[in-house]
Structure 1
Amino acid sequence: MGAELGYRMHLLDIGGGFPGTEDARAQFEEIAAVINSALDTYFPEGCGVEIIARPGRYYVTSAFTLAASITAKEEIPMEQPGSDGPLVYHLSDGIYGAFSCVLFDSPCPKPLLHKKPCPDHLLCSSLRGPPGLPEDRIADGVELPELQDGDWLIFQDMGAYSIAVPSLLGGCPQPQVTYAMSRLAW
């Protein structure tokens, strides 16, 4: 269409947002195979078009793990309108901080328990940001054992668009970053 209007295309930016986790709906390798096939068909080598991509999310998703503490717990009666479960946990971070990815396009990563309590009795729980901001909804329908204030949840694969876009709107300060690397990776 552009060529019909006299435009000579010289740059194709295929964008970014490529998944960086193993549990993504489509794996990076599958996406790359489809893209490469289309590029071979529509933009063969030597056609004069430079092709670029921005695979930042793919590279950095696994670079950060977030530890968030439980700062408050609410027990919500199931018969209350809008109740998502019997327990609502407020975390030390929220959608105006490291969980901003939930606002844009990513579901909340499944939390891991810092301490390994006996998971015999799991409760349907909701995760929220700091108290006082009802719109700060991180995740609903999360199966967790009953936890207490001061307990910690671990969220892996938080490297893309988490600590890079903090906001003071929700009162979430920039999380402290502690660098760690396994001896094997070193």
Structure 2
Amino acid sequence: MSVSGFAPSVADAFGAQTTSNTTEIELIESLARRYGAPFLMLDCDIVRHQYQALKAALPGVELHFALKPLPHPAVVSTLLAEGACFDLATTGEVELVRDLGVPADKTIHTHPIKRDRDIRDALEYGCKVFVVDNINELEKFIPYRDEAELLVRLSFRNPNAVSDLSKKFGCSEEGAYAIVTRAAELGITIRGLSFHVGSQTLDADKYVHAINRCNAVIRGVAERGLPVLKVLDIGGGFPVSYDDNTVDIDSFCAPIRSALAELPAAVAVIAEPGRFIVAPAMTSVASVMGQAERDGETWYYLDDGIYGSFSGILFDHGHYPVDALYWQGERFPSVLAGPTCDSIDVIAEKIMLPKLNNGDLIVGRMMGAYTSATATEFNFFRKAQIIVLNEFMHDASLAPVVTLEV
């Protein structure tokens, strides 16, 4: 769908939203007048759509949203209403879901390395499923063996992923047998296995290989007379597109579904999607606060940057689609820089933009994952406020719900 006023390549690729006969441009203009820039628009309808798309692509898999990429109350409330479960990794995330009324039995705690107080905080809330990947971590649960159940995380290296999470966490297959054996000696319940093939995994065969190897370990554990493993957590990493190349998640998951069908019938499967659910759901809006000509290019200095909403450029290898709100006219080689006094605070170079005036708006797409979550207030530039759209289901004839995060 192309909306008048946006560069067609951006609108067509990322689906410029309309709400109650109001174009996205008009919505952005209205919000900019009301709240000022910079801000982020969080559309809960897109959160719902992404969750339902992945749920349809992985039937029978219980989806636990990983809070890490966007731990926002509106996201949690929206997904809870959709029936989602949640993947927690810190006491702060435990407190967030607890305060929003998430039932503890809809959560798991998946940080492989924990302090004793992290375990106690989660257990006090009622979250009882944890992840370990070594004997040292296993032995932390000796005092809690009557309360906690564990998943053993295996490592499957994936250097082609945006983030190879198995570099930092996970054990070998033999390590998994050793942990399960030691747990049986200590009277600690091992409920199953888990893995994470890495963020933005574009090759579904990475999941297939990991599932097949975990299947072998599950069967091997039973053959050794150890307690039967009944859960497999296939992690997250499901890809989204940051350019014109769309990802058909149903087709992507087809080989994963086939591999899961080979598991023992008694094994329940869960997953930990994060980026896939929220990346498309947030749009950034920043304004030009100044400009200068340097080496034949116009540098536009925005009121948001690398230390703010575009932090994912540093921390997440992000490449976000950005363009002027008003894109008509001839384009010129330009640079978009952030507001701080640090020279690395540059969002995009060699970008073709129309001639902009101070105060003009720049729009960034696919800004939901690892953006505001990793933003700072370096140089005392405040983080962009988040404006929530469509937080609650409502009659289509009514105006959208628009709320401001205070």
Q: TM-score, normalised to structure 2's length?
A: 0.38
Return the letter of the residue paired with 1:16: G
Match of 1:74 in 2: 292
**What is the one-letter code of the residue matched to 1:71?**
M
More helix by share: 2
Give the unaligned 5+ runs of structure 2.
1-171, 181-189, 196-233, 401-406
What is the CA–CA distance in structure 2 between the aligned matches of 1:5 and 1:62, rounded to whole Å? 36
Task: Name the CA distance, whole Å, in 1 between partners of 2:257 and 2:381.
Answer: 41
Contiguous gaps of at least 5 residues in structure 1: 79-85
Change (3 A) 1:144 1:60: same
Q: 135, 148, 166: which is aligned to 2:344?
A: 135
**Structure 2 matches for 1:1-186, cutoff 5 A?**
2=173, 6-7=177-178, 10-13=192-195, 14-21=234-241, 23-24=244-245, 26-40=247-261, 44-46=263-265, 48=267, 50-78=268-296, 86-103=297-314, 104-111=316-323, 113-116=324-327, 118-119=328-329, 121-181=330-390, 184=396
Report which structure shows greater RCO (CA 8 Å, sep ≥6): 1
Q: What is the count of residue pairs matched by the alignment? A: 173
* Alignment RMSD (CA, Å): 3.0
Q: In structure 2, the residue corresponding to 1:16 is in which secondary structure?
A: coil
2:322 partner SS: coil
Change (3 A) 1:137 1:40: farther
Q: Tell me the CA shift for residue 170 of structure 1.
A: 4.7
Cα pair distance change 1:6/1:157, threshold 3 Å: closer
Deviations 1:15-38 (CA, angstroms, capped at 9, x unpaired): 323233473575433432243344
Q: Structure 1 length normalisation: TM-score?
A: 0.76
Identity %: 31
C-alpha change, 1:16 and 1:152, in structure 2 (3 Å) is same
Change (3 A) 1:4 1:108: closer
What CA deviation, in whole Å up to 9, does each residue of 1:7-55 have, x standing for no partner? Answer: 45821233323233473575433432243344445xx24374x543221
Find the structure with the greater CA-based Rg: 2
Q: Which amino acid aligns with 1:57?
A: R
Contact preservation (8 Å) 1:20, 1:59: no
